[in-house]
Structures are given as C-alpha cells and as structure tokens.
Amino acid sequence: MNIGIIGGGQLGLMMAQAAKPLHHKIISLDPNPRCPLASFSDLHITASYNDLEKIEYLVSKSDVITYEFENVDLDLISKFEKLIPQGRRALEISKNRLLEKEMAEKLGIKTAKFHKLSDENIEFYPCIIKTTTGGYDGKGQFVISNKEDLKSADFDINKEYIVEEYISFDYEASVIITRDSFGKIECFPTPINNHKNNILNTSLVTKDFPMIVKKKMEEYSKKIIENLDYIGTMAIEYFITNEDVIFNELAPRPHNSGHYSIEGCSVSQFENHILAITNEVIKKPVLLNNTLMLNILGQDNTYIENAKKTNNIYLHMYGKDEFITNRKMGHITFLRNDLEDINQTLIHITKE
Ligand code: ADP
Ligand code: MG
C-alpha cells in the first residue's frame, strides 16, 4: 500500500522503518525538507500541516493516511476521515485535557479530581494547573501549593486552563495498545516511565510488573480504545499509587514510552500500528527480556560516545540536523537478564 504520513519526526520515521519491510511505500508531509523521515520516505512533500492543496496531493498519492502527532488540524482530518483509521474522535479528545478527563470519568475510569479554571476558583490544594490544549513535556503547567503560589503563576489570559488535584503517585506507567480493523486488541508489556524536567528519560519494562495493576490499566485502556473506535497504536499514561490506577492522558499514536518494543518485544508498537492501519491482523507482543529505553536529548552527547563503547545495546539516532537542549535526538535500548545489569549499563552510558 501507499501510506501517507502527516509529520516527519522520529515517530513517522520509525513507522516507515516498520512499514518498508512489509513492502509498503511511504509518502511523508512535513514543513521541514530535512526532517527525519524526508530522506527515508519514497516521496516527501514539503508543506505546512494546514496547506489544503498539499494535503489533497498527499491524499491523491495514498491508500491510507496516518498522523504521528496531535497537532494536526481537526477540520482537515474530518475531511479525509475515511482514509485515516486513527479517526477524528481520538484526536479531538486528546487535544483537550478537559474532554480527555471527562471521557475517562464517563467510562468509570479514575482520574485526578479536576475542574475548569474560571476566576481562579481553585477547589483543592495542592494542585497542578495545565493549559487544556497545546501543552506537552510539562509546558504550560503550574504546580500550586496554596493561594500565595497562585499570585505568582504566570497565566496566559487568552488560554483555557484545567485544575487537577496533585497526585503523590508511586510511579508512572503507560499502556501501549493497538486495535486492528477486525476489533482485535493487543497491549504491550507495561513500561514504567521516569521523567527528567518533565521529559521522558527512561522506560523500564520488566517481567515482574505487578499483575493486579497491569490488569486494571489494560482493562481501562481497552475501554478507551473501543470507545474511541480507534484503529492503530496509541499510548495511555497512568499514575500508580499502591494498587490504585489513575488515568492521566492519552496520545493517539505510537509513543516514546513504547520505543523499547522495537528490540524488546516480538513485535514493535510501530509494526502493529502499520498492520492495523493496513487492514492486517495485529500480533501479540511478547517481552523478550527485561528492557530499558533511554532518551538522548540535545545535551546528551556523552551518551552517544559511551553507547558506542558498550556491548549489546541498540543506538537509534533520528538524523535531526541540530542538537538543541531538550530536543529528542535519539534513544538507546538494551535488554538484560537481570535488573542489576540494567542499572550498571545505564550508569555506564550516562556517566560524564
Ligand atoms: P504533558 O506530558 O502533556 O506535558 P502531563 O499531564 O503528562 O502533560 O504532565 C507532565 C508530567 O507532570 C507527568 O508526567 C507527571 O509527572 C506530572 N503530572 C501531571 N499531572 C499531575 C498530577 N495531577 N499530579 C502530579 N503530577 C502530575
Ligand atoms: Mg504526559
């Protein structure tokens, strides 16, 4: 098939890397002619994401279309919805934190207490205030402990905000889940996610993730993906306290916390995404060994040098032109029999 990909970043690139061995052709659309996917796709269209004429050109060249990020224009997606298995609804919901949490509530899924911010009417402290749309990697968020904090928060009066109860969670974990056009659903082994400066730093996947928590997370995630009538791979983030599972947010696309699956599982999040959107049956992912994925940001040059001197690791560089602080440049994955080895390898790669 000819697969059109809107967005030429690393997610688009890794989708294409999974699609090519399955004999698909890739047409990419991104404003940057030197984006990671451009040199790998069969045809690259340099255009902004709301350039209707260029999107129509992409559509004319593609049998199916996928997007790799949430900032796609909803009206455009509506226009070509039949060609986009991920659909419109998942995008609409995930673009707005209020809609996202309301959906979870309706489905009987636990969330942090929340309400819309109007006239600074905060119902609980401590809380975290986030823009309802457009935020990512912790951008547009304020942690507020009391009324005093509120005075110093630098809100943008043109934006809408959501107030969420601050959760003192034990850890964060995500479900990477795929649904195909036959209604079959598969969940990937659960990564535990650690963030640094609100950006994902590591995802650790082990064989001994608590079963009760995993079951609850997967039950919630299946409800969500079915309710959204979504086809493809998506990620759903949760906070975990003891055995309590609290929904945080969803991303209607393959996700950074699922990159580990490229080498860590019998099938990757990208391959299952491609299978799903091309009307094939998805595969059951099996964890091959304890796996750790480490992100490489613009300031992490030493990781690359150290990684090159380390045995049995997989280094992925996305081919971005400029190393900029906090920009995701690549990632490293490694599989080890025991967790102590995972820690040692991580220390080795991240040492100065
Ligand atoms: P985004 O990833 O879109 O920037 P998130 O809602 O995932 O936004 O928030 C970023 C990070 O902030 C989370 O991964 C988590 O560590 C922290 N965080 C978000 N919401 C809460 C909350 N209600 N309580 C405690 N920590 C939170
Ligand atoms: Mg998040």
Going from N- to C-terminal start, the domains of the chain cover 2-84, 113-165, 171-350
Would you say residue 180 has pLDDT above 80? yes
Question: What residues form DSSP beta bridges with 333?
Answer: 293, 314
**Closest atom of ligand 1 relative to the 165 alpha carbon:** 23
From atom 1 of ligand 1, which residue's Cα is the shortest distance away?
136
Question: What residues form DSSP beta bridges with 71?
Answer: none
Architecture of the domain defined by 2-84: 3-Layer(aba) Sandwich (3.40)
Q: Which residues line ligand 1 (CB under 6 A)?
A: 112, 128, 135-138, 164, 166-167, 172, 195, 198, 237, 248-249
From atom 9 of ligand 1, which residue's Cα is the shortest distance away?
138
The backbone region for 105, taken as left when phi is positive above 0, alpha when psi lies in -120 to 50, beta otherwise, is alpha
Q: Which of 71, 100, 124, 198 to mutate to test the pocket of ligand 1 (most atoms within 8 A of CB)?
A: 198
From atom 22 of ligand 1, which residue's Cα is the shortest distance away?
166
Q: Give, for 90, the enclosing helix (H) or strand (E).
A: helix 89-94
Q: Which of 95, 98, 124, 128 to mutate to test the pocket of ligand 1 (most atoms within 8 A of CB)?
A: 128
**Closest atom of ligand 1 relative to the 193 alpha carbon:** 14
Tokens of 149: 């904090």
From atom 15 of ligand 1, which residue's Cα is the shortest distance away?
198
CATH H superfamily, domain 113-165 = ATP-grasp fold, A domain (3.30.1490.20)
The amino acid at 236: I
Q: What is the pLDDT of residue 158?
A: 87
Q: Which residues contact 47 (CB under 8 A, 6 or more apart)?
A: 29, 30, 31, 54, 55
Q: What is the pLDDT of residue 90?
A: 96
What separation in Å is there between the alpha carbon of 19 and the centre of ligand 1?
Answer: 32
What separation in Å is there between the alpha carbon of 129 and the centre of ligand 1?
Answer: 10
Q: Which residues contact 95 (CB under 8 A, 6 or more apart)?
A: 70, 74, 133
Q: What is the pLDDT of residue 309?
A: 95
Instruction: Could you please state the CATH topology (level 3) that the domain comprising 171-350 is classified under.
Output: D-amino Acid Aminotransferase; Chain A, domain 1 (3.30.470)
What separation in Å is there between the alpha carbon of 1 and the centre of ligand 2?
Answer: 32
Q: What is the pLDDT of residue 352?
A: 85
What separation in Å is there between the alpha carbon of 171 and the centre of ligand 2?
Answer: 13
Confidence of residue 71 (pLDDT cuts 50, 70, 90): confident
pTM of the model: 0.97
Report the percent of the chain where pLDDT is more than 70. Answer: 100
Question: What residues form DSSP beta bridges with 161?
Answer: 131
Q: What is the pLDDT of residue 7?
A: 97
What separation in Å is there between the alpha carbon of 138 and the centre of ligand 1?
Answer: 7
